[in-house]
């Protein structure tokens, strides 16, 4: 397995995001209520964020996640938001999600963030377990994402 930088508009990335959005829409409790909001390439441009792709041992893209700096800071300093964390079902259970989250955190520190935040839906039990294992704690809502029912944060750097 390896994690590489990607482009949100690239062919592998587009396929992974389509799979992610289809899965989320299918699993969403209210049929037809899931709102697809694709990533904006500028949010993941150097200095603003990064979009990562997980490749299996054969070089096939099997997962992705984005990291973007937010315009709003916490009281301690800049925040980065984790977006679109996805591993195809066949790639799960190997610890790759933990590796992906660790790489996102490393990249966020490199961008100057002192806090990582993310949002999710309460029906995504596996995601909630992953975030808890990675040190995320529930926080107040920091956005108005219509798909989210839970918001998480994690301190990752020194106070400004």
In a domain, 68, yes or no: yes
In a domain, 160, yes or no: no
Nearest-angstrom CA–CA distance, 25 and 156: 31
Nearest-angstrom CA–CA distance, 17 and 109: 25
Q: Quick one: pLDDT at residue 160?
A: 44
127 is written with which tokens? 């995601």
Pick the range with the lowest mean pLDDT from 1-10, 23-32, 52-61. Answer: 23-32
Lookup result for tokens 């041992």: 57
**How many domains are there within the chain?**
1
For residues 110 and 52, the answer to whether their CB atoms sit within 8 Å is no
Q: Quick one: pLDDT at residue 150?
A: 93
Q: Quick one: pLDDT at residue 117?
A: 97
Here the CATH number for the domain that contains residue 103 is 3.40.630.30
Q: Quick one: pLDDT at residue 93?
A: 93
Nearest-angstrom CA–CA distance, 56 and 11: 16
In a domain, 42, yes or no: yes
In a domain, 87, yes or no: yes
In a domain, 62, yes or no: yes
Its domain, for residue 90, covers 2-155
């Amino acid at each position: 397995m390896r994690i590489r930088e990607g482009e949100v508009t690239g062919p592998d990335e587009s396929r992974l995001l389509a799979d992610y959005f289809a899965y989320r829409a299918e699993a969403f409790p209210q049929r037809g209520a899931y709102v697809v909001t694709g990533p904006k390439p500028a949010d993941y441009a150097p200095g603003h964020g990064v979009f990562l792709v997980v490749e299996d041992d054969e070089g096939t893209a099997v997962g992705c996640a984005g990291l973007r700096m937010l315009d709003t800071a916490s009281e301690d300093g800049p925040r980065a938001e984790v977006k679109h964390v996805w591993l195809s079902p066949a790639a799960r259970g190997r610890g790759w999600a933990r590796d992906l989250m660790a790489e996102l955190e490393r990249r966020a520190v490199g961008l100057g963030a002192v806090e990582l935040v993310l949002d999710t839906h309460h029906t995504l039990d596996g995601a909630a377990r992953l975030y808890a294992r990675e040190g995320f704690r529930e926080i107040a809502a920091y956005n108005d994402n219509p798909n989210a029912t839970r918001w998480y944060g994690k301190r990752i750097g020194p106070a400004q």
